[in-house]
Chains A and B, each alone.
Chain A
């Protein structure tokens, strides 16, 4: 909101410099964004918070400045002379909706000469950012800027039946507003109508049918108080706002309606723009009573943490035009100025005291803590540990928007899931809440590849969302996403290069689980459309599926124009964040040495390592302590096409004694025989 320094000075004798005024205004909650010079004037741009509608005028800000500087305010001249013609004979006002318009005032001016405004008036309007139109409209705008009260001038000749009716619209009624748009009205909207039709949307905008034109001779000036929520609802529904609606929404001063009319009439007369008919039409079915509340000195002190003398409280609030009456030794009854809609209760007055007393005068203290629960809860610690683990494994953390493109998200969506749609997305390709972290992470890979970075390892921890059948509230699940492409590590001059592969991804997941002691992790083959069918697994923890991993399907890679293989995984973290971490149980260190044996066998191509270890476990040979794979290859001179050569390293150990070589040889033989029998293995 723009304020003219010269205009303000016509209300209050400001005896400090512009910059000091700006600083002091900021420190009472009227944040000055900038001061700019304009001719011999300075323009203050001030951010007015939504509770302070009363400050949206020169008068309003002057009241604050006067309180701040402890000065009196001078009101501008409001006098004028009236002709004998009575306003009441020329127009009838019918107030049919007093709930939405508690008070409606009007004045009639005859013999209007529409002309351009004089320079001094144009200058003032321009200074506060208003566009001059003609003398009558300019005067109403001038009074709006000066006193903060929106006025509307109707061409009285166009008001059919000379009747001004304040009523709710009939559903479907139409009006063309002065911006030239035809509006369809709803039955809860307040309008101003004549005998036949709407002539203005109350508090929002006038209609073209009663607009001031060059031909206008008689005008009806409206000065009303409209219910703020009603104006706001209408303005929102019609998607139409104006300087008037902005102020009505924030609450205007119902006691200043006639003052605004007087000031307008004074200016009309000063400009010789018309003759003022006698009498103000004032429809006021239920006079508004002054609002009162109370304030305790003890409460001021206990909430602010400083003792403010009672006399000081009285002084500060009186400067802001509150009327205080001692109620008892501790408290006052306080009458609230009619324009301060933000003040209702004691707490509001305490804020006023604090604001003028100065926040900087309140001593800083540290509150004592007598509670018991302190420190980060388990889920926070665990999420941090997951982050740290991923970083230590060489992954970069990314954070993506929650909003994604349905068409891309769909590619990565498991069939059963349904996405949450937004009613008012910010962009078409951000229309839903992500059901998976992977689409955005894959596009992070593409973004970086396009910028010359080929070896990338990323993770993200964030929520995914989906609808749940039979439930109103969609589900939100904390999820870990992993995506990698290119080489396993950056090339180092001494080392060879190796492409990131399935086992790197699986390894980091196993690493993560091991850190928490969640040992019951398993991987099972599955069909998931967006993965390469040859390398995809469902991840299970305690036999419950918690995620999936694999190589991104080459079709999707091609569709997203990614020229390299992409590996990715997604894990649901909800269970893991809540799960008890398993307590480490110490195992005694082995007392006797192990004996290590390597055996190489040919298996059918379709064999799985899991099957081999399961059969070996079924032998229940106590002395086999570990089975590892140390080599695997398909191609080679003496390996048939349908076979695979697997070399196993087996550790034999007895807890109570040193094994004999014969014992080991016998166990090894039993093992080989079993694999031959059950898995069709052939020794090499």
Chain B
């Protein structure tokens, strides 16, 4: 009996070694410990038939072996379960290199992106935003801005006419006059908006977007104009950007200045973007002409101011290095999608 028990133990040990999964483990458990026919169970049931003096020793041994088997089986089960878990996890592995399911995402038109960028810079400086009508009168678009009738200054602005009195604004500047007419200084505004000129080529489209800026207060100087616009171009084009102001002519500002920035593409060395000059013309600006202040009834001795205007389309062309302005209005998705990363 004793030897049979020891043989069971030995056989169990070697069979346990061979067990590779939970199914075999269950079979093994059944084979020895099944309540009805397990080899050890049956052997235990035979103990009362043994001579009395053998019973304690055999009984002890049998119980030890049973305990041993149960312990080993439990250990083994835990180990197998752990292995199983590892395998299951491994098998659940997905191909993480497949591109993800993008949530629906459109994007802003590049002109609107640039417009919002510029707005942000000036809003932070305490400006507010104004707008005005696209359909304007000759008075607001020209006369009030010191463009006399029959003056060659009008040549640069080929105008769309609606009738004798009305035209499509060629610039956002009429809004300057409209705002000053209804408000006293101090004034600090920007005016984004659609403008119209009869030009159509690779860098001109018959409508385009402009941004206008106007500051009026006591003691505003040409130095203030320079400081503000230098701050602006560094914000928009990068910290390293240098600005250069060149005298220019606009009927509604005097002194007037064109603003060039150092080419951010070649760092001023000269490239295609800057036509080898190292500079890119960005905007026109100047001190508000006293004639404009007179039109709106401001005291020209008390107040001074500066104004500037830029083509948003043009800035977008430069920023994104696009060569053909007409692309903006084709609305080809392959074009529009490229501005997805920027928002």
Contacts and interface: CB of A to CB of B under 8 A. Distances in A.
Interface of A: 26-29, 31, 49-52, 228-229, 232-233, 236, 249-250, 302-306, 345, 347-348, 350-351, 354-355, 359-360, 362-367, 369-371, 373-377, 380, 384, 387, 390-403, 420-427, 430, 444, 447-448, 451, 453, 456-459, 462-463, 465, 472-474, 476, 489-490, 492-495
Interface stretch (B1-9, B82-90, B153-161): B153-161
B117 to A, nearest CB: 12
B221 A371 contact: no
B16 interface: no
Nearest to A367: B224
21 contacts: A27-B246, A232-B150, A363-B223, A365-B226, A376-B129, A391-B343, A392-B104, A393-B104, A394-B105, A399-B328, A402-B168, A403-B207, A424-B161, A426-B160, A426-B200, A444-B331, A456-B333, A459-B106, A472-B166, A474-B166, A495-B101
A370 B217 contact: yes
Contact of B186 (A365, A371, A456): A371
A390 to B, nearest CB: 6
Contact of B160 (A362, A396, A425, A490): A425
Given A367-B220, A374-B128, A394-B104, A400 B149 contact: no
A449 to B, nearest CB: 10
Q: Which of B187, B188, B222 has the most CB of A within 10 A?
A: B222
B256 interface: yes
Contacts of B248: 29, 31, 49
B26 interface: no
Nearest to A380: B129
B38 interface: no
B135 A424 contact: no
Nearest to A425: B160
Given A367-B215, A424-B198, A50 B156 contact: yes
Contacts of A395: 106
A558 to B, nearest CB: 22
Interface of B: 98, 101-109, 111-112, 116, 119, 123, 125-129, 133-135, 148-153, 155-156, 160-163, 165-166, 168, 186-188, 194, 196, 198, 200, 205-207, 215, 217, 219-224, 226-228, 230-231, 244-249, 254-258, 287, 289-290, 304, 328-334, 336-337, 343
A427 B151 CA distance: 27
Contact of B194 (A375, A402, A495): A402
A359 B105 CA distance: 47
A31 B207 CA distance: 26
A490 B333 CA distance: 14
Contact of A303 (B125, B165, B304, B337): B304
A52 B152 CA distance: 11
Contacts of A401: 205-207, 329
Contact of B226 (A364, A371, A453): A364
A474 B136 CA distance: 10
Contact of A359 (B119, B226, B330, B334): B226
A465 B329 CA distance: 19
A420 B163 CA distance: 10
Nearest to B328: A399
Contacts of A359: 222, 226, 245-247, 255, 257
B290 A347 contact: yes
Contacts of A250: 152
Contacts of A52: 249
Contacts of A403: 206-207
B224 A365 contact: yes
Contacts of B187: 371
A396 B255 contact: no
A302 B218 CA distance: 10
Contacts of B160: 422-426
Given A371-B126, A399-B331, 20 more contacts: A228-B150, A249-B152, A303-B221, A351-B256, A359-B245, A364-B230, A366-B224, A367-B221, A370-B217, A391-B105, A392-B105, A396-B109, A397-B108, A400-B331, A402-B207, A422-B161, A423-B161, A465-B135, A474-B135, A492-B101
A29 to B, nearest CB: 3
Contact of A365 (B148, B223, B245, B246): B223
A50 B147 CA distance: 11
B123 A375 contact: yes
A448 B101 contact: no
A362 B254 contact: no
Contacts of A347: 254, 289-290
B188 to A, nearest CB: 6
Given A403-B206, A420-B162, A458-B331, A351 B255 contact: yes
Contact of B108 (A351, A365, A387, A458): A387
Q: Which of B105, B156, B290 has the most CB of A within 10 A?
A: B105
Nearest to A32: B277
A366 B230 CA distance: 10
B244 A304 contact: no
A224 B240 CA distance: 54
Contacts of A425: 160
A51 B107 CA distance: 44
Contacts of A305: 221-224
B249 A453 contact: no
A458 to B, nearest CB: 7
A231 to B, nearest CB: 9
A355 B247 contact: yes
B219 to A, nearest CB: 7
Contact of A374 (B127, B149, B166, B249): B127
Nearest to B221: A305
A632 B251 CA distance: 67
Q: Which of B156, B162, B207, B333 has the most CB of A within 10 A?
A: B333
Given A49-B249, A401-B205, A473-B135, A229 B149 contact: yes
A421 B135 CA distance: 12
Given A360-B245, A364-B226, A447-B332, A430 B105 contact: no
